[in-house]
Amino acid sequence: MLNPDPPYAALIFDCDGTLLDTAAANESAWRTALGKWGIELDSGWYRARTGLPADALMTELTAETGREFDHAAVRAAALDAYSRLVGVVEPHEPVAAVARAQHGRVPLAVASGGSRRGVEEGLRATGLRPLFDAVVTRDDVRYGKPAPDVYVLAAERLEVDPAHCVAYEDTDEGAAAALAAGMRVIDVRPALGRAATS
């Protein structure tokens, strides 16, 4: 189900929710960070928005609650909280197995809407970082997903035409980003026991 159909020249993976099961750690980190501002994070609300970049998530939270808070301070606090929790993060084995099997056969990259710090920490903690020739994050581009920027830059760093890449994603926003970059997309949600929403 997750093995790419040839031909392809490179594989590019989203990180949170695709390669790594970071859901619980990320939610806890956001809850901790927002709690310092007296804002209670609703689990259902957060889980419905896990594909959003941090800035978009906080903008929606402000719009819905009417609560103003320092986005940069909350983002930094969430990253600090995530760093303390990263040891509980595990790989999504069906997806990680594809990366392990393809390592050394074709170039591999990560294209994430997360921060470089969080992505690198998660990949190192799970032992997956050595598999990847390039790691591109939201910090490297002007526009996050669903804009194609992270995928275009990942293909560029692998020196492969985006049209010859297969992307692995777990959100509609991420899939839209990869498709906009000209890539084929494998939706990992069915393999991970999660329903696709569209």
Catalytic residues: 14
Distance CA 141, CA 144 (A): 7
Q: Which two tokens stand for residue 84?
A: 């303390």
Distance CA 180, CA 168 (A): 14
| Strand order across the 10-13 sheet | 134-136, 108-111, 10-13, 165-169, 184-187
What is the three-class DSSP state of 184? strand
Q: Which two tokens stand for residue 54?
A: 């941090």
The maximal CA–CA distance of the chain, rounded, in angstroms, is 52
